[in-house]
């Protein structure tokens, strides 16, 4: 059995490296995740899958739903309705890859629904 508290992370995804030879962390796989979901351990899932792995603060415009930058929405040309959310870095990376393929993902914020 191999475990670690802190250690190296992958450059691209900012997640812990895999494997004991690379001083990697234990992986919480899909079956383990499904088991935790079945037991209703939502806070444990939040901590294990995002907070202790690769959490990232992202600026999002409440009007158009696109990602902002430094409190500014490039699409709306203002910063009045930009808010910060915390998501996994892998999710932000997925959004950027979709945007590179000319697919525009929009985030609908629950508090912003009128």
pLDDT of residue 112: 56
pLDDT of residue 2: 47
Which residue ranges form the domains of the chain, and what is each CATH number?
1-53 (3.90.1800.10), 55-114 (3.90.1800.10)
**Would the pTM of this model clear 0.75, i.e. be above it?**
no
Mean pLDDT, consecutive 10-residue stretches, the chain (114 aa), reads 64 72 70 81 77 86 91 90 90 93 92 59
Q: What one-character-per-residue DSSP string does 28-63 give?
A: --HHHHHHHHHTT-HHHHHIIIIITTTEEEEEEETT
Cα–Cα distance between 101 and 75 in angstroms, integer?
A: 18
pLDDT of residue 72: 93
Closest CA to 112 of 86, 76, 66, 81: 81
């Amino acid at each position: 059995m191999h475990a670690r508290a802190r250690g190296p992370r992958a450059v691209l995804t900012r997640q812990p490296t895999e494997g004991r030879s690379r001083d990697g962390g234990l992986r919480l796989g899909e079956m383990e995740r499904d088991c935790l979901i079945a037991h209703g351990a939502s806070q444990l899932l939040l901590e294990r899958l995002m907070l202790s792995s690769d959490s990232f603060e992202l600026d999002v415009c409440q009007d158009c739903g696109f990602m902002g930058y430094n409190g500014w929405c490039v699409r709306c040309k203002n910063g009045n309705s930009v808010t910060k959310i915390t998501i996994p870095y892998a999710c932000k990376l997925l959004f950027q890859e979709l945007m590179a393929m000319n697919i525009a993902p929009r985030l609908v914020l629950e508090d912003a629904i009128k």
